[in-house]
Amino acid sequence: MMKLALLAALASTSTAFLAPTTPLVAPNVRPSTQVYAEAEEAAAEDAPAPRTAEEISALTSSVKTIFSLEDINKILPHRYPFLLVDKVVEYEMGKRAVGIKSVTLNEPHFTGHFPDKPIMPGVLQVEAMAQLAGIICLQMEGVEPGTIFFFAGVDGVKWKKPVVPGDTLVMEVEVKKFNKRFGIATATGRAYVDGEMAVELSEMKFALAK
């Protein structure tokens, strides 16, 4: 009898460890699939509506061209493939300018820099800002037509992110000093892609000569 009672007790307690025939769901807890579906639906509602080409193009409608590429050709001596300013959109004579460089895969340096991962060389980013500064310097009062400016030095260059084909490099330079007697100028510069800084420099120097 004791053996039978012991077996019965073991059988009754073992059922506590058996998996239930129906899943146990806590009250007020939704199945995970429902949670995911609701999250995806909320994300879809928050996602911005697709924009047309006209709407995207209109984002720059307030940006006006001050100097076109044809105008720049009359100021700078550089030519393809070394002319690195496509247009100027802000200009304060003798002080400051904002210029645009549209980066495309057609530029020859991308053939080797690098074949499988094209990146605009950092030195060309600095050169582009120097050319933008040249547009200011070569139009300074007292500078004679035909004057050429030479890169004399650069300090404090910091690259923040790669610049690649398809990017629009928006550059800003400000002339800090200009010695007309000796033809020496200093300027600062920075450039952005999609609102993020790509490169900045604390000072670049130029020498102007005939």
Kindly report, residue by residue over 138-187, the tens digit of the pLDDT: 999 889 888 999 999 999 999 999 999 999 999 999 999 999 889 999 99
Would you state the structure tokens that stand for residue 51, as one six-digit string? 């924009």
Would you state the structure tokens that stand for residue 92, as one six-digit string? 């304060």
pLDDT of residue 6: 44
Specify whether the CB–CB gap between 138 and 76 falls below 8 A: yes
Chain segment 41-67, per-residue pLDDT in tens: 777 677 888 999 999 999 999 999 999
CA distance 147 to 76: 9
Q: What rounded mean pLDDT belongs to the chain? A: 87
Element (H, E) at 96: strand 96-102
Residue-level length of the chain:
210
Dihedral, CA of residue 38, residue 39, residue 42 and residue 46, to nearest 10:
-170
pLDDT of residue 129: 98
Would you state the structure tokens that stand for residue 155, as one six-digit string? 């300090």
As a whole-number percent, the residues of the chain with pLDDT over 70 amount to: 83
Largest CA distance in the chain: 122
Residue 10: pLDDT band by 50, 70, 90 thresholds?
very low
CA-based nearest residue to 133, from 98, 107, 86, 159 = 98
CA distance 112 to 118: 8
Catalytic residue set: 113
Specify whether the CB–CB gap between 157 and 121 falls below 8 A: no
End-to-end CA distance of the chain: 121
Specify whether the CB–CB gap between 103 and 125 falls below 8 A: no
pLDDT of residue 172: 98
Specify whether the CB–CB gap between 72 and 88 falls below 8 A: yes
- Tell me the sheet residues that pair with 203: 155
Residue 80: pLDDT band by 50, 70, 90 thresholds?
very high
Structure letter (DSSP) for residue 209: E
Q: How far is CA 7 from CA 15, 16, 195, in A?
A: 13, 15, 77
Q: Which residue has the higher pLDDT, 103 or 8?
A: 103
> Quick one: how far is CA 132 from the chain centroid?
19
pLDDT of residue 14: 47
pLDDT of residue 17: 44
pLDDT of residue 20: 52
pLDDT of residue 108: 96
pLDDT of residue 179: 93
